Each structure stands twice: as C-alpha cells, then as structure tokens.
A = this chain, B = another copy of it.
C-alpha cells in the first residue's frame, strides 16, 4: 500500500506515533498547532490524525482546546508486563517496605542508560523527591540505577562509563574510575547506596531483583532524608523484599497476569449475566 507513505517517506503509523511522541513530562498539554510543529506534520494532517486519536481516546481534548494523553491509552499501557507482572508481584513487598519506613519506595527497571520508575510509593511524611512512576533518571545518580548497573555485564558497564556522566549535585559521581569502584563495592556488599548524588539532603539504598542467572530484572529501593537513617540499617528489609519479589517472579513462570486469576473468570461472568 504505497498510499500509506506520504511525500516525506514517513508512514501513517510513524506519524501517529510521532503525535504520541510530541507529549512528554514537559509538554503534557498541547494545542493542535503545537502537535503539528512538534511532530513535523502539516496542520491538515495533524488535524485528521488527532481527530482519530481523540475519537479512540488515545488523546483527550480539554475545555481550553488543548490535548493531553487520553484514558484509553493509559488503560492500554497498563496491559503490558511491566505493570501486570512485575508491578503486581512487587506491590505487596513495596507496601511492606513503605510500612516499615514511611519513606519513598521505588521499583525500577533499566531501559538503555536510564532507570525507568515502574512504581513509586510515598506518603505525607516521605521526603520530597524528583522521581515519578513512568519517569526516568540516570543510573549512576540513583540507588535503583546503581543497583541495576552493578550487576550488569562488564561490557554494559564499560559502555555506560564511556558516556558523559551527568553531575546533578556536587556529590554525583561523574568520574568513570570512581563509579567503577563504587559499582564493585555495591556488588560485593549486595546493595547500592547514594549520598546526595541525586538531590541534596537525600540518600538512598537499593537492591537488585535478580533472575536465576544472577542478572538484574529490576531494582527496589528507598529514598530518605540523609539525617533520618543509616544505610546499613535500611538494607536488610530491602534485600528481603528484592529476594521475595525475585522468588515470586520465578514461581509465576510464564504467567502474564499472576495476580488476576479471578478477574478473568469475572469478565466472563459480567458478560454473561448483564
């Protein structure tokens, strides 16, 4: 179907995805012309595609005429294994850590050179932090990030160290040699720590969730105010949570929805009886 490709050689699918790409944490609400500009589309094409996306509710249009990501896209995204498998299995363990600490509790995976936050639990008394569920932070400035990096292969660590290391506070480790030593220490000790390397005044402790081959699937960590706690005191419950999650993941095998057995039956019953 040659007709699906426009004059600029882009397919319609890539244009549709380009519209979704136009939205990010700094640009959560966009006018039609914002979208056209950011997705490099003519206003006519943007208008047509945005209309179709809005009808399906991948986008929604606010009262001020600006668009944001819609309910249906949020709903579809939650069907992926990051949410239904990893997050579902981890949740009771994360809650346990939250109950024990009342601090920010994180679950993250590595995506390229970043820690992608799958879940963040926090309460009124937790120290304010910059992470958010669905957000990304560097590997070397965060506890979960270091835990994800320290158990990676040497090749991967080398590749990470070959790139410039962002210095987000004066305590961020931006020297490759120092970071390499820190990762070795983390690995031998079994958990990662940061001391004001991401945000002044905050420290963190994190452990990897390892698969049967000892490779990191994800990491779980806690962020606290530096004066509140000793890292060594915080490590044991985090290590226990990481081990618990790893065991449950292994036990769940290939099941895509380890927590949802009843839900599946229910959907059928809802359809039958209503």
The CA-CA distance from A70 to B70 in the complex, in Å, is 17
> Hey, which chain B residues are within 8 Å of A264, CB to CB?
25-26
Closest to A18 in B: B56
Task: Among B14, B75, B99, B270, point to the contact of A77 (Cβ < 8 A).
Answer: B75
Task: Among B49, B79, B99, point to the contact of A13 (Cβ < 8 A).
Answer: B49
**Contact call B92/A95, Cβ cutoff below 8 A:** no
> Hey, which chain B residues are within 8 Å of A137, CB to CB?
266, 270
**Contact call A20/B76, Cβ cutoff below 8 A:** yes
The CA-CA distance from A122 to B98 in the complex, in Å, is 12
> Hey, which chain B residues are within 8 Å of A95, CB to CB?
98, 121-124
Residues of A at the B interface (CB closer than 8 Å) are 1-4, 6, 11-14, 16-17, 20, 23-26, 28-29, 45, 48-49, 52-53, 56, 58, 60, 68-71, 73-84, 88, 91-92, 95-96, 98-99, 102, 111, 116, 121-124, 126, 128, 130, 132-135, 137-138, 163-168, 199, 256-257, 259-260, 262-264, 266-267, 269-270, 273-274
Further pairs besides A71-B111, A99-B123: 4, Cβ < 8 Å: A17-B58, A73-B77, A166-B270, A166-B273
